[in-house]
Structure 1
Protein backbone atom coordinates (compact mmCIF):
# COMPACT_ATOMS: atom_id res chain seq x y z
CA UNK A 1 0.00 0.00 0.00
CA UNK A 2 1.47 3.33 -1.05
CA UNK A 3 0.16 6.12 1.10
CA UNK A 4 1.04 9.66 1.96
CA UNK A 5 0.77 11.59 5.18
CA UNK A 6 -2.37 13.19 3.77
CA UNK A 7 -3.91 9.73 3.22
CA UNK A 8 -3.33 8.89 6.89
CA UNK A 9 -4.72 12.26 7.99
CA UNK A 10 -7.78 11.88 5.77
CA UNK A 11 -8.41 8.42 7.21
CA UNK A 12 -8.22 9.80 10.75
CA UNK A 13 -10.40 12.74 9.84
CA UNK A 14 -13.05 10.62 8.16
CA UNK A 15 -13.14 8.07 10.98
CA UNK A 16 -13.36 10.77 13.66
CA UNK A 17 -16.97 11.29 12.65
CA UNK A 18 -19.28 13.74 14.30
CA UNK A 19 -18.06 12.99 17.81
CA UNK A 20 -14.77 14.68 16.98
CA UNK A 21 -11.35 13.89 18.30
CA UNK A 22 -10.66 14.17 22.02
CA UNK A 23 -8.29 17.02 22.95
CA UNK A 24 -5.58 14.53 23.92
CA UNK A 25 -6.25 11.40 21.87
CA UNK A 26 -4.64 8.16 22.95
CA UNK A 27 -1.55 8.04 20.73
CA UNK A 28 -1.01 4.32 21.20
CA UNK A 29 -4.64 3.66 20.32
CA UNK A 30 -4.40 5.85 17.23
CA UNK A 31 -1.21 4.10 16.15
CA UNK A 32 -2.78 0.66 16.60
CA UNK A 33 -5.87 1.69 14.65
CA UNK A 34 -3.75 3.06 11.80
CA UNK A 35 -1.59 -0.07 11.71
CA UNK A 36 -4.74 -2.23 11.56
CA UNK A 37 -5.93 -0.05 8.66
CA UNK A 38 -2.72 -0.93 6.80
CA UNK A 39 -0.67 2.24 7.17
CA UNK A 40 3.09 2.03 7.65
CA UNK A 41 5.05 3.30 10.65
CA UNK A 42 6.80 6.09 8.75
CA UNK A 43 3.56 7.65 7.49
CA UNK A 44 1.88 7.15 10.87
CA UNK A 45 4.74 8.96 12.64
CA UNK A 46 4.67 11.82 10.14
CA UNK A 47 0.87 12.15 10.38
CA UNK A 48 1.01 12.26 14.18
CA UNK A 49 3.73 14.92 13.99
CA UNK A 50 1.53 16.88 11.57
CA UNK A 51 -1.35 16.73 14.05
CA UNK A 52 0.96 17.84 16.85
CA UNK A 53 1.95 20.77 14.66
CA UNK A 54 -1.68 21.68 14.06
CA UNK A 55 -2.45 21.58 17.76
CA UNK A 56 0.71 23.46 18.70
CA UNK A 57 0.66 26.32 16.21
CA UNK A 58 -0.34 29.59 17.77
CA UNK A 59 -1.27 32.72 15.86
CA UNK A 60 2.03 34.38 16.78
CA UNK A 61 3.99 31.47 15.30
CA UNK A 62 2.67 31.99 11.77
CA UNK A 63 3.79 35.62 11.72
CA UNK A 64 2.16 38.91 12.47
CA UNK A 65 -1.60 38.83 12.33
CA UNK A 66 -2.49 39.57 8.72
CA UNK A 67 -5.12 42.20 8.05
CA UNK A 68 -8.21 41.76 5.92
CA UNK A 69 -6.81 44.22 3.40
CA UNK A 70 -3.29 42.85 3.16
CA UNK A 71 -1.79 41.07 0.18
CA UNK A 72 -0.17 37.67 0.67
CA UNK A 73 3.27 37.39 -0.92
CA UNK A 74 4.34 33.76 -1.18
CA UNK A 75 7.88 32.63 -0.42
CA UNK A 76 9.81 30.73 -3.11
CA UNK A 77 9.40 27.45 -1.26
CA UNK A 78 5.64 28.00 -1.08
CA UNK A 79 5.48 28.96 -4.77
CA UNK A 80 7.34 25.75 -5.65
CA UNK A 81 4.79 23.59 -3.85
CA UNK A 82 1.50 25.49 -4.17
CA UNK A 83 0.74 26.25 -7.82
CA UNK A 84 -1.24 29.20 -9.17
CA UNK A 85 -4.50 27.25 -9.06
CA UNK A 86 -3.93 26.37 -5.40
CA UNK A 87 -3.05 29.93 -4.46
CA UNK A 88 -6.11 31.13 -6.34
CA UNK A 89 -8.26 28.65 -4.45
CA UNK A 90 -6.95 29.92 -1.11
CA UNK A 91 -7.76 33.49 -2.19
CA UNK A 92 -11.23 32.33 -3.27
CA UNK A 93 -11.84 30.80 0.18
CA UNK A 94 -10.90 34.10 1.78
CA UNK A 95 -13.09 36.11 -0.55
CA UNK A 96 -16.18 34.01 0.18
CA UNK A 97 -15.55 34.22 3.92
CA UNK A 98 -14.57 30.64 4.70
CA UNK A 99 -10.99 31.49 5.68
CA UNK A 100 -9.79 34.50 7.61
CA UNK A 101 -6.26 35.71 6.82
CA UNK A 102 -4.81 34.13 10.00
CA UNK A 103 -6.46 30.82 9.10
CA UNK A 104 -5.00 31.02 5.58
CA UNK A 105 -1.57 31.27 7.19
CA UNK A 106 -2.25 28.22 9.32
CA UNK A 107 -3.42 26.31 6.23
CA UNK A 108 -0.26 27.28 4.34
CA UNK A 109 1.86 26.23 7.32
CA UNK A 110 0.14 22.83 7.43
CA UNK A 111 0.37 22.40 3.64
CA UNK A 112 4.10 22.99 3.81
CA UNK A 113 4.34 20.50 6.69
CA UNK A 114 2.89 17.76 4.47
CA UNK A 115 6.31 17.35 2.88
CA UNK A 116 4.76 16.66 -0.53
CA UNK A 117 6.66 17.97 -3.55
CA UNK A 118 3.51 19.82 -4.57
CA UNK A 119 -0.04 20.17 -3.36
CA UNK A 120 -3.18 20.40 -5.44
CA UNK A 121 -6.60 21.91 -4.82
CA UNK A 122 -7.94 18.63 -3.39
CA UNK A 123 -5.10 18.58 -0.84
CA UNK A 124 -5.90 22.18 0.05
CA UNK A 125 -9.58 21.36 0.54
CA UNK A 126 -8.80 18.59 3.02
CA UNK A 127 -6.24 20.62 4.94
CA UNK A 128 -8.69 23.54 5.19
CA UNK A 129 -11.32 21.15 6.55
CA UNK A 130 -8.89 19.81 9.14
CA UNK A 131 -7.81 23.29 10.21
CA UNK A 132 -11.40 24.53 10.55
CA UNK A 133 -12.39 21.34 12.39
CA UNK A 134 -9.61 21.95 14.91
CA UNK A 135 -10.76 25.49 15.72
CA UNK A 136 -13.64 26.10 18.10
CA UNK A 137 -16.38 28.40 16.85
CA UNK A 138 -15.77 27.65 13.16
CA UNK A 139 -18.71 25.30 12.67
CA UNK A 140 -20.35 27.49 10.01
CA UNK A 141 -17.14 27.90 8.00
CA UNK A 142 -16.50 24.17 8.38
CA UNK A 143 -19.98 23.32 7.07
CA UNK A 144 -19.53 25.62 4.08
CA UNK A 145 -16.12 24.11 3.33
CA UNK A 146 -17.51 20.61 3.67
CA UNK A 147 -20.05 21.48 0.97
CA UNK A 148 -17.20 22.62 -1.29
CA UNK A 149 -15.18 19.45 -0.67
CA UNK A 150 -18.04 17.18 -1.57
CA UNK A 151 -19.34 19.32 -4.46
CA UNK A 152 -16.56 19.56 -7.06
CA UNK A 153 -18.67 21.82 -9.26
CA UNK A 154 -18.46 24.65 -6.70
CA UNK A 155 -14.90 25.59 -7.72
CA UNK A 156 -14.26 26.49 -11.31
CA UNK A 157 -11.70 28.83 -12.79
CA UNK A 158 -13.47 31.48 -14.86
Structure 2
Protein backbone atom coordinates (compact mmCIF):
# COMPACT_ATOMS: atom_id res chain seq x y z
CA UNK A 1 0.00 0.00 0.00
CA UNK A 2 1.20 3.50 -0.84
CA UNK A 3 1.91 5.95 1.94
CA UNK A 4 -0.32 8.47 0.13
CA UNK A 5 -4.07 8.22 -0.31
CA UNK A 6 -6.11 9.61 -3.17
CA UNK A 7 -7.57 12.14 -0.72
CA UNK A 8 -4.12 13.69 -0.42
CA UNK A 9 -4.92 15.60 -3.62
CA UNK A 10 -8.03 17.10 -2.06
CA UNK A 11 -5.91 18.44 0.79
CA UNK A 12 -3.32 19.80 -1.67
CA UNK A 13 -6.07 21.47 -3.71
CA UNK A 14 -7.42 23.09 -0.53
CA UNK A 15 -3.94 24.37 0.39
CA UNK A 16 -3.41 25.74 -3.12
CA UNK A 17 -6.82 27.43 -3.18
CA UNK A 18 -6.46 29.00 0.28
CA UNK A 19 -2.79 30.00 0.33
CA UNK A 20 -2.15 31.61 -3.05
CA UNK A 21 1.55 31.97 -2.41
CA UNK A 22 3.60 29.21 -0.86
CA UNK A 23 5.25 31.61 1.56
CA UNK A 24 1.83 32.54 3.05
CA UNK A 25 1.17 28.95 4.01
CA UNK A 26 1.41 28.49 7.79
CA UNK A 27 3.88 26.16 9.49
CA UNK A 28 2.92 22.49 9.28
CA UNK A 29 1.48 22.12 12.83
CA UNK A 30 -0.74 25.19 12.30
CA UNK A 31 -1.72 24.02 8.83
CA UNK A 32 -2.61 20.59 10.20
CA UNK A 33 -4.90 22.17 12.82
CA UNK A 34 -6.57 24.33 10.17
CA UNK A 35 -7.08 21.34 7.89
CA UNK A 36 -8.61 19.37 10.78
CA UNK A 37 -10.92 22.31 11.51
CA UNK A 38 -12.28 22.34 7.94
CA UNK A 39 -13.02 18.63 8.08
CA UNK A 40 -10.04 16.74 6.70
CA UNK A 41 -9.02 13.60 8.58
CA UNK A 42 -5.47 12.95 9.76
CA UNK A 43 -5.09 10.04 7.31
CA UNK A 44 -5.68 12.60 4.51
CA UNK A 45 -3.65 15.41 6.06
CA UNK A 46 -0.46 13.69 7.15
CA UNK A 47 0.50 12.30 3.72
CA UNK A 48 -0.24 15.69 2.13
CA UNK A 49 1.91 17.50 4.68
CA UNK A 50 4.79 15.07 4.13
CA UNK A 51 4.44 15.61 0.36
CA UNK A 52 4.37 19.41 0.86
CA UNK A 53 7.44 19.35 3.08
CA UNK A 54 9.33 17.30 0.47
CA UNK A 55 8.20 19.77 -2.22
CA UNK A 56 9.41 22.68 -0.09
CA UNK A 57 12.83 21.07 0.36
CA UNK A 58 13.18 20.26 -3.35
CA UNK A 59 12.05 23.76 -4.36
CA UNK A 60 14.52 25.39 -2.01
CA UNK A 61 17.26 23.16 -3.38
CA UNK A 62 16.35 24.21 -6.91
CA UNK A 63 16.26 27.91 -6.03
CA UNK A 64 19.55 27.88 -4.11
CA UNK A 65 21.38 25.84 -6.75
CA UNK A 66 20.08 28.23 -9.41
CA UNK A 67 21.98 31.11 -7.80
CA UNK A 68 25.00 29.17 -6.56
CA UNK A 69 28.41 29.97 -8.01
CA UNK A 70 29.49 26.38 -7.30
CA UNK A 71 28.72 24.22 -10.38
CA UNK A 72 28.69 21.05 -8.25
CA UNK A 73 25.86 22.49 -6.15
CA UNK A 74 23.69 22.38 -9.28
CA UNK A 75 24.02 18.64 -9.76
CA UNK A 76 20.38 17.95 -8.91
CA UNK A 77 19.00 20.34 -11.52
CA UNK A 78 21.59 20.54 -14.29
CA UNK A 79 20.46 22.19 -17.49
CA UNK A 80 20.95 19.81 -20.41
CA UNK A 81 22.63 20.85 -23.61
CA UNK A 82 20.61 21.21 -26.81
CA UNK A 83 21.68 17.72 -27.89
CA UNK A 84 20.37 15.89 -24.80
CA UNK A 85 17.04 14.14 -24.47
CA UNK A 86 15.03 13.22 -21.36
CA UNK A 87 14.01 9.56 -21.33
CA UNK A 88 11.42 8.35 -18.87
CA UNK A 89 12.12 5.24 -16.84
CA UNK A 90 9.53 2.45 -16.97
CA UNK A 91 8.35 3.45 -13.49
CA UNK A 92 7.90 7.08 -14.61
CA UNK A 93 6.03 5.97 -17.73
CA UNK A 94 3.70 3.79 -15.66
CA UNK A 95 3.16 6.54 -13.12
CA UNK A 96 2.30 9.21 -15.68
CA UNK A 97 0.39 7.11 -18.17
CA UNK A 98 -0.01 8.21 -21.77
CA UNK A 99 -2.25 11.20 -20.99
CA UNK A 100 0.10 12.50 -18.33
CA UNK A 101 3.19 12.21 -20.48
CA UNK A 102 1.39 13.89 -23.40
CA UNK A 103 0.34 16.73 -21.14
CA UNK A 104 3.86 17.25 -19.81
CA UNK A 105 5.18 17.29 -23.39
CA UNK A 106 2.63 19.99 -24.18
CA UNK A 107 3.78 22.09 -21.20
CA UNK A 108 7.42 21.67 -22.21
CA UNK A 109 6.65 22.58 -25.83
CA UNK A 110 4.96 25.87 -24.85
CA UNK A 111 7.83 26.78 -22.53
CA UNK A 112 5.80 26.41 -19.34
CA UNK A 113 7.97 23.65 -17.96
CA UNK A 114 11.70 24.27 -18.37
CA UNK A 115 14.01 21.36 -17.52
CA UNK A 116 14.56 22.13 -13.82
CA UNK A 117 10.85 22.67 -13.20
CA UNK A 118 10.08 19.51 -15.21
CA UNK A 119 12.41 17.49 -12.99
CA UNK A 120 10.77 18.93 -9.89
CA UNK A 121 7.35 17.93 -11.26
CA UNK A 122 8.63 14.41 -11.97
CA UNK A 123 10.08 14.17 -8.46
CA UNK A 124 6.69 15.04 -6.99
CA UNK A 125 4.83 12.76 -9.43
CA UNK A 126 6.94 9.82 -8.32
CA UNK A 127 6.14 10.67 -4.67
CA UNK A 128 2.42 10.04 -5.22
CA UNK A 129 0.28 6.88 -5.16
CA UNK A 130 0.57 4.08 -7.64
CA UNK A 131 -0.31 4.86 -11.18
CA UNK A 132 -1.36 5.78 -13.71
CA UNK A 133 -2.28 9.05 -12.12
CA UNK A 134 -5.29 11.13 -13.06
CA UNK A 135 -4.61 14.09 -15.35
CA UNK A 136 -6.26 16.48 -12.88
CA UNK A 137 -3.86 15.25 -10.17
CA UNK A 138 -0.89 15.89 -12.48
CA UNK A 139 -2.16 19.40 -13.19
CA UNK A 140 -2.40 20.01 -9.45
CA UNK A 141 1.19 18.85 -9.01
CA UNK A 142 2.34 21.29 -11.72
CA UNK A 143 0.39 24.09 -10.00
CA UNK A 144 1.91 23.15 -6.63
CA UNK A 145 5.42 23.28 -8.12
CA UNK A 146 4.80 26.81 -9.41
CA UNK A 147 3.25 27.67 -6.03
CA UNK A 148 6.26 26.38 -4.11
CA UNK A 149 8.61 28.47 -6.27
CA UNK A 150 6.53 31.62 -5.71
CA UNK A 151 5.74 31.80 -9.42
CA UNK A 152 2.57 31.86 -11.46
CA UNK A 153 2.32 30.30 -14.92
CA UNK A 154 1.36 32.42 -17.90
CA UNK A 155 -2.38 33.20 -18.00
CA UNK A 156 -3.25 30.71 -20.76
CA UNK A 157 -1.23 27.95 -19.12
CA UNK A 158 -2.82 28.71 -15.76
CA UNK A 159 -6.25 28.56 -17.39
CA UNK A 160 -5.44 25.16 -18.89
CA UNK A 161 -4.00 23.84 -15.61
CA UNK A 162 -7.14 24.88 -13.74
CA UNK A 163 -9.55 23.63 -16.41
CA UNK A 164 -11.09 20.19 -16.25
CA UNK A 165 -11.64 19.03 -19.82
CA UNK A 166 -14.52 16.82 -18.75
CA UNK A 167 -17.61 17.68 -20.73
CA UNK A 168 -15.78 20.08 -23.02
CA UNK A 169 -17.05 20.23 -26.58
CA UNK A 170 -14.42 20.69 -29.29
CA UNK A 171 -14.96 23.35 -31.90
The answer to whether the 8 A contact 2:19-2:25 is kept is: no
**Corresponding residue number in structure 2 for 1:147:** 159
C-alpha distance in 2 between matches for 1:44 and 1:132: 21
Give CA deviations for 1:87-119 in whole Å, capped at 9, x if unaligned. Answer: 111011010111101111110111111224321
SS where residue 126 of structure 1 aligns? helix
Structure 1 runs (4+) deviating above 4 angstroms are 60-63
The answer to whether the 8 A contact 1:111-1:127 is kept is: yes
Q: Which of 1 and 2 has greater Rg?
A: 2
Q: Spell out the pairing of 1:60-71 with structure 2 (5 A cutoff).
A: 60=74, 62=76, 64-67=78-81, 70-71=84-85
Change (3 A) 1:61 1:84: farther
TM-score, L = length of structure 2: 0.75
Q: Spell out the pairing of 1:11-50 with structure 2 (5 A cutoff).
A: 11-17=14-20, 20-22=21-23, 25-50=26-51
Change (3 A) 1:91 1:14: same
Give CA deviations for 1:13-53 in whole Å, capped at 9, x if unaligned. Answer: 11114xx2436722222111111222221221111111111
**Corresponding residue number in structure 2 for 1:6:** 9
Pairing 1:131–2:145 present: yes
Pairing 1:100–2:103 present: no
For structure 1, the 5+ residue unaligned runs are none
The answer to whether the 8 A contact 1:68-1:101 is kept is: no
TM-score, L = length of structure 1: 0.80
Q: CA RMSD in A?
A: 2.6
The answer to whether the 8 A contact 1:65-1:102 is kept is: yes
